[in-house]
Amino acid sequence: MKKHENVLSTLNLSFCGLCTATSRSTKDPKCITDAPIITRRGCKSPSWQFSLTTRKCVQTCTKEGPFESKFSCDVRCRSVDVCNAPRAVSSCAGNVYPIFFYNPTTQECHRDIGCTFSGNNFPTITECQDTCVRRRPSPTKPRKCYVVPSQGYHCWWRAGLRFYYNPPTGQCLPFWYLGCGGNANRYRSYERCIRHCARS
């Protein structure tokens, strides 16, 4: 039971954790700090800080780091790691407006409409390109491993837990597949995902 609870917790982070923040975070004081990043083995009080050079959230061995976790840093500061993450889901109960998102398959930023600027939803094409296009790594794994995972659409009799490969972390993560549609970055087991992508 504990294992399933952990999986569901991860699912929540994978698909809903990026849903709540709606601000344009690039000017956030926590994200533009010039405090030195300290790396040390056996650090007892690590924290996380946004690197303006790499545009990634990195661990620093100091209590003064502005973030307690990589996840909170990624969401707030628009880390390059969001480029291959599932796009934030929002019910859009209010107004919608133009947003731009990075598509790892085409390796370009595309226009859409939405109501959140969090995660892989950017307010301008310039910010999307600066974060993702100009810093994307050269793929060395099968192309399907870089496709943003899709939940597909409802076919309840085929729905279930699946796994997708997340290039920034090099991990296979769980997500809930709705049963039909979707894309090739979807595996029935963690082991199969690892075999196809993480060990390529």
**Residue boundaries of the structural domains of the chain:** 2-16+23-135, 143-198
Q: What angle do CA 151, 153, 158 make, to 5 degrees?
A: 85
162 pLDDT higher than 70: yes
Please state, as a whole number, how many other Cβ atoms lie within 10 Å of the Cβ of residue 69.
13
Above 90 in pLDDT, residue 153? no
| Averaged confidence pLDDT in the chain | 76
Q: What average pLDDT score do residues 75-96 get?
A: 75
| 90-148 pLDDT, tens digit each | 667 778 888 898 988 888 899 998 887 777 888 888 888 888 887 655 455 778 888 88
Q: For 81-95, 129-143, 169-183, which range has the lowest pLDDT when averaged over its residues?
A: 129-143
Q: Right CATH number for 143-198 from 4.10.410.10, 3.30.300.20, 3.30.420.40, 2.40.128.20? A: 4.10.410.10
| Cα–Cα dist 141/145, whole Å | 7
Helices (H), the chain: 2-15, 70-77, 125-131, 190-193
* DSSP helix/strand/coil, 114: strand
The pLDDT, as a whole number, for residue 21 is 37
* pLDDT (mean) for 67-91: 77
pLDDT given at position 9: 38
| Rounded average pLDDT over 177-182 | 89
Q: What is the average per-residue pLDDT within 185-194?
A: 91
Q: Rg of the Cα trace of the chain? A: 17
CATH of 2-16+23-135, one of 3.40.50.970, 4.10.410.10, 1.10.238.10, 2.60.40.10: 4.10.410.10
Read off the pLDDT of residues 10-21 as tens digits, 9 standing for 90 and up.
443 344 333 333
pLDDT the model gives residue 142: 79
Residue 161 has pLDDT above 90, yes or no: yes
Q: Do domains 2-16+23-135 and 143-198 have the same CATH topology?
A: yes
Share of the chain above pLDDT 70, in %: 80
Other CB atoms within a 10 A radius of the CB of residue 191 amount to: 11
Residue 24 in this model has a pLDDT that exceeds 90:
no
